[in-house]
Structure 1
């Protein structure tokens, strides 16, 4: 994917589908009401808006209960809480157990940044059925995302061209084109979303969550954060340590890294995942169809990408599979071991001149549905990262760093290094070099790291534990593959997480599951 500050996955169900509403904006009304006293009007959920990815309204849960949706007013600018408001889209499934056993609401953020919680929670709702016995399951579209005052940048046709461009320039002309396209994209974001861009920082979203806690009627925020959701949870814990209830961070962002360090860490993480994929494929009883040895698998992929740089192949008509789209598709497949088979099929196809599967994987990463419509996940992802991250990188800086990125990953290094220019000339200054998640006085937070995680490398879990402070972070290691641990359905991980969230049992520090 061209120009993301960091790679991130769309909802995995979107990938599976590819392979087999009016938007709520900013309100101009000033208000004197106490927003913490507002009452939510829960109703049957509508079909997702285009910015949320489109599709059908969520199906009922296995027990027949329906998902319910509502909107919550929150200040546009938390520095002026009595000023203009925006509406945040919320979704919930009521607790299925005895009311006397109900703990409260369990709020989910699935990451991105830029992912719609309103569409993602129903897609994975049954995975959390045990947690639902004692919690209302709640998620939301954070500000700037989906139906919550969405950031808008370019239209579908413009985005098709944006994602087809060469994101790893080899000469001065290609570099100039990439810089010009990035500047145009950023200017379009400012032109179309000027009012909301200064107010989509993670600190703003954390304050929204504290208002949500109050509106939902909970004394403490019980929270399940995944991927970027761990950063959001850490920022919440820093701002409101005494209001943290039972919280779990899974697929943990390293809070000590700046944007460059985060991108370099992802280069290592995706390379590690590719190494694991290649070893797995060539260790099967039957011959691996995309290489004789692990190194042969990686060499053939590198050759494919070089060939695509010179001459794209048929993708999903009328689009062709470019080097950028293929790299993006490979990265998407590495988010989950369940998708390794699609990667193998996609590579087999591509070697025969057909790029449809790799392009479908790339489309899923970029939030493009089968009708050619894009969600706003890319616009929101860039807007939130650029509002958060203070550093602004030049093309000259990227070129000086290319050897280090290539050493981290021959396949993904250039791609992630050039992604650092996304925030150059962004309309809003970045807030800090990295988030502050120190949370003295917070309740314990269970921090789960996966040794094979490509997008949030395992080392980030230990850094998060240290940054949260003594007596707060409790580290749990999962020796597995893919982005995240709980959704791997590993019994040890799920027992530990469920035991804490449902019964308050804190696992021993540095517990290891495999």
Structure 2
């Protein structure tokens, strides 16, 4: 089962372009004893992994030791993989830490491919990112094997229509949680956003910065808000782009995203000269036909199921650059060929041509299920379906059912219904919202700013398309963000980039 909630623009853009570059090794552990903040990471050359080649010589990698359990700071530790490129200029401000979202996105793999988009920032900042706990090279969690993943994709209906399909849907969710528990062990209870925010502050100290300068995208905005709440006096220059609504609970996020993806689909359909209502109905009808009879594909032994088809539709909605691919894939599916939608679904699901899957979605699930206390029942999800389907005939049923299946029978309890992001006394935080964002709808930007508090949250609006605003084609957005990070020049709250 694939969830769309909070996934980052960078991971998706990389998928559209056939993958991220850069795959560093983590180097040695931190040196020395004493408190965690006293460690000195041993920065060394990044090495290739089985997933990606090594980045260039500009990049250095290391390991940061952090407490497994932050309530026991002197207890057992785990290693977090770090990557950085040193500032080019002499007028260095400090380190700028990037979180690319997910939760579950690998900063170690993503930052080298993203660096060209932020080359101006490297004049005054060391560019730094990391794999958060439970992700990638930082004690990465794998909840099931490749063959099990592919079997679930072909047999589990994420919008069950019969009691048998419903039982299989719930059993698959429970089995996934069991696999996560076996893989992660005691780490499963210590991968929350709050844990990672505390890791982030330790990172700040070890890097030698008095304040945290931070660029959070998608889920990274929630992480940034939680950090600001915990450490308001340590907030430096902070950017939150593609903003998660901190006031929404599990059901609220699902409803927001149903609305956001339908809005993006409407915009796509308008761009092709179609009436959004009629075009959505045609796509919904196509998905119903695929549900009854999966489409053949050019991939040996694989068919396009309804869930895979929907995933393939979702991927290109994350970026306007993907819209032509969506047109071609839908036209092929209407002709009875599911190959192109399957290719898009595989990119979203991190499946390579050999049948090997990435684990980003595994980490996403273990982190979000530890964060989210709310556990909607099947009866509650079923009751919500009419409302979700009124919002979107294409995405409503999937995201409605997902509220019950995502954390069903999860091995550990969730921590909160809403993250606490109020940050009185923090420096101003620039909150960037895109009116056409499908995954983190625009309304979340204003709600985040309001929750951060008066004088802290400053909203910049872009009237654009895709998940995220910075680096998406708006000179106005890019220059405003650069101006704040490089010069401390803050726009007026409510400024709009057309």
Structure-2-length-normalised TM-score = 0.95
Q: Contact between 1:166 and 1:324, CA under 8 Å: does it hold in 2?
A: yes
| Deviation of 1:3 (Å) | 5.2
Secondary structure of the structure 2 residue equivalent to 1:475: strand
| Deviation of 1:369 (Å) | 2.1
Q: Contact between 2:24 and 2:61, CA under 8 Å: does it hold in 1?
A: no
Q: 2:476 aligns with which of 473, 489, 492?
A: 492
In 1: Cα distance, 2:14 partner to 2:24 partner:
23
The residue number in structure 2 matching 1:162 is 152
1:301 lines up with 2:302 in the alignment: no
| Deviation of 1:23 (Å) | 9.4
The residue number in structure 2 matching 1:107 is 97
Q: How does 1:99-498 map to 2 (within 5 A)?
A: 101-164=91-154, 165-282=156-273, 293-315=275-297, 316-420=299-403, 421-498=405-482
Cα-to-partner distance string for 1:85-124 (whole Å, 9 max, x where unaligned): 11001111111112xx100000000100001011111111
Q: Which runs of 4+ in 1 moved over 3 A?
A: 21-24, 292-296
In 2: Cα distance, 1:233 partner to 1:162 partner:
34
Shift in CA distance, 183/345, structure 1 to aligned 2, threshold 3 Å: same
Q: Contact between 1:23 and 1:149, CA under 8 Å: does it hold in 2?
A: no
| Deviation of 1:354 (Å) | 2.0
Shift in CA distance, 273/5, structure 1 to aligned 2, threshold 3 Å: closer
Q: Contact between 2:24 and 2:46, CA under 8 Å: does it hold in 1?
A: no
In 2: Cα distance, 1:166 partner to 1:360 partner:
19
Cα-to-partner distance string for 1:12-33 (whole Å, 9 max, x where unaligned): 21232179x9998xx9x9x962
In 1: Cα distance, 2:487 partner to 2:268 partner:
37
In 2: Cα distance, 1:396 partner to 1:275 partner:
30
Higher relative contact order at CA 8 Å, sep ≥6: structure 1 or structure 2? 1
Secondary structure of the structure 2 residue equivalent to 1:223: strand
Q: Contact between 1:437 and 1:468, CA under 8 Å: does it hold in 2?
A: yes
In 1: Cα distance, 2:25 partner to 2:398 partner:
32
1:43 lines up with 2:44 in the alignment: yes
Q: Contact between 1:168 and 1:418, CA under 8 Å: does it hold in 2?
A: yes
Q: Contact between 2:142 and 2:183, CA under 8 Å: does it hold in 1?
A: yes
- The alignment of Structure 1 onto Structure 2 pairs a total of residues equal to 488
Cα-to-partner distance string for 1:276-311 (whole Å, 9 max, x where unaligned): 0000111xxxxxxxxx54444323211211111011
1:90 lines up with 2:82 in the alignment: yes
| Deviation of 1:356 (Å) | 2.1
In 1: Cα distance, 2:157 partner to 2:78 partner:
37
Q: Contact between 2:24 and 2:108, CA under 8 Å: does it hold in 1?
A: no
Secondary structure of the structure 1 residue equivalent to 2:17: helix
| Deviation of 1:413 (Å) | 0.6
Shift in CA distance, 209/477, structure 1 to aligned 2, threshold 3 Å: same
In 2: Cα distance, 1:147 partner to 1:18 partner:
18
In 1: Cα distance, 2:281 partner to 2:114 partner:
36
Cα-to-partner distance string for 1:430-485 (whole Å, 9 max, x where unaligned): 00001000000000000000000000000000000000011000000000000000
Secondary structure of the structure 1 residue equivalent to 2:18: helix
Q: What residue ranges of structure 1 are gaps of 5+ in the alignment?
A: 283-291
Q: Contact between 2:24 and 2:54, CA under 8 Å: does it hold in 1?
A: no
Q: What residue ranges of structure 2 are gaps of 5+ in the alignment?
A: none
The residue number in structure 1 matching 2:5 is 6
1:70 lines up with 2:62 in the alignment: yes
